[in-house]
Amino acid sequence: MNHASVAPLPRPVRDRMVEVIDAIMCNGPRVWGDLDCLHTAARTNAAHLINAQPHQIAFLRNTSEALSTVANGLGWRAGDNIVTTTAEFPANLYPWQRIASAYGCELRAAPERNGLVDIWELLNLIDGRTRIVTVSWVQFASGQKLDLRRIGEFCRNRKVLFVVDGVQGLGALELDVERDRVDAFAAGAQKYLLGPKGIALLYLSERALAEIRPSMIGWTAVKHSEDYRRHELDFRDGAVRFEGGSLNTVGICGFGEAIKLFLEAGAARIEKHLLSLASHMKTRLAERGYRIASPRCEEESSAIVVCGHDRFTAEELCANLEARNIVTSARLGRLRIAPHFYNTCAEVDALIQALPA
């Protein structure tokens, strides 16, 4: 029940990663051509999962690197501003703090009130000098799901780039980057996507690709990378220019295999099941005397449920569950429960029964 932290690897993901490692062990560089095909397949699967095109997908090390790639790649001017929230995980805060400090930009943040963010407060911070609006799709400490389409349309109408940290949502919720007017989307594989650590996807819209330039340039970022005597800085088309040098092939292949699971199961079915589990969990927790910090309405609900108790700390609750082999997290003084599509109502009920009343 801890997929908002680090998920266990599914057996097909583990098997594919071992298969790639064994191929490299036995054949060395002779397999690289075949592995490039696996990169392409993983890129295609990732694009299909979010309704993007393969050339709009880059594979980077983690969500932090992907968000920093966006932040560092824009041509900033003193007086520009960046709009975000006070509820963001540090991965979606530090890159923008650095930009504000280095270029004389303003970082504006909509406040968190009782653990939740009001979208109108966020949108009202946008003005003619706003370059970026950047938010988490699902807030890590409350489980609040923000309405990406509403924010995205507001930004698109004002020619503001819309950047999303999607690591707490992708794999649990259905996403359409075209419908939701998302310009940049970053998500590591290790949470709800059930992939390995050390690999993430970065999606960039066509207008983001036109505006964002590579800030860390590796030898494979250019069109003629295999002509080692040709030194023109002529970037490759699409998001692959941001991948730099040699790729994490084992991680990418494992990630691609994980995404196949979601394409087979169907994102809509997964979301429906998880929202049902979350609703059931909130009802049962409230009946047991727990304060629910997550939204109760379906429009803002996600797979994450966050709660607290008047007599027990979050750490005590986590330890109590861990002693019964139920894995959860403590975040900002609250208990965070994050099931996935293979968890059941019976398992949720077992968790509730294991909690002190």
* Strand residues in the chain grouped as ranges (E): 57-60, 81-85, 106-110, 112-113, 116-117, 130-136, 161-165, 184-188, 200-204, 291-292, 305-308, 329-331, 334-337
The CA distance from 237 to 79, in Å, is 31
Question: Can you give the CATH number for the domain in which 286 is found?
Answer: 3.90.1150.10
Give yes or no: residues 31 and 41 share one domain: yes
Question: What mean pLDDT comes out for the span 187-211?
Answer: 98
- For the chain, the distance separating the N- and C-terminal CA atoms, rounded to the nearest angstrom, is 19
Give yes or no: residues 335 and 217 share one domain: no
pLDDT bucket at 245, cuts 50 / 70 / 90: confident
Residue 5 lies in a domain: no
Question: What mean pLDDT comes out for the span 318-335?
Answer: 96
The CA distance from 355 to 284, in Å, is 11
- Check if the beta carbon of residue 306 is closer than 8 Å to that of residue 294: yes
Residue 3 lies in a domain: no
The number of folded domains in the chain is 2
- Check if the beta carbon of residue 51 is closer than 8 Å to that of residue 263: no
Give yes or no: residues 160 and 88 share one domain: yes
Give yes or no: residues 160 and 49 share one domain: yes
Give yes or no: residues 282 and 184 share one domain: no
Give yes or no: residues 67 and 102 share one domain: yes
Question: What mean pLDDT comes out for the span 173-200?
Answer: 98
pLDDT at 335 (0 to 100): 98
pLDDT in tens, 56-83: 999 999 999 999 999 999 999 999 999 9
pLDDT at 32 (0 to 100): 79
Eight-class DSSP state of 290: P
pLDDT at 114 (0 to 100): 81
Last residue of a domain, one of 265, 290, 305: 265
pLDDT at 242 (0 to 100): 96
Residue 66 lies in a domain: yes
Q: What is the residue range of 301's domain?
A: 267-351
Question: What mean pLDDT comes out for the span 252-266?
Answer: 96
Question: What mean pLDDT comes out for the span 102-114?
Answer: 95
pLDDT bucket at 333, cuts 50 / 70 / 90: very high
Question: Can you give the CATH number for the domain in which 252 is found?
Answer: 3.40.640.10
pLDDT at 196 (0 to 100): 97
- Give percent of the chain above pLDDT 70: 100
Spatial CB neighbours of 249, under 8 Å, sequence gap ≥ 6: 20, 24, 35, 38, 39
Residue 335 lies in a domain: yes
Last residue of a domain, one of 232, 265, 298: 265
pLDDT at 314 (0 to 100): 97
Closest CA to 20 of 242, 255, 187: 255
pLDDT bucket at 278, cuts 50 / 70 / 90: very high
Residue 356 lies in a domain: no
Checking if the pLDDT of 265 tops 90, the result is yes
Residue 159 lies in a domain: yes
Give yes or no: residues 77 and 210 share one domain: yes
pLDDT in tens, 32-51: 778 888 899 999 999 999 99
Checking if the pLDDT of 331 tops 90, the result is yes
Last residue of a domain, one of 235, 265, 295: 265
pLDDT at 325 (0 to 100): 96
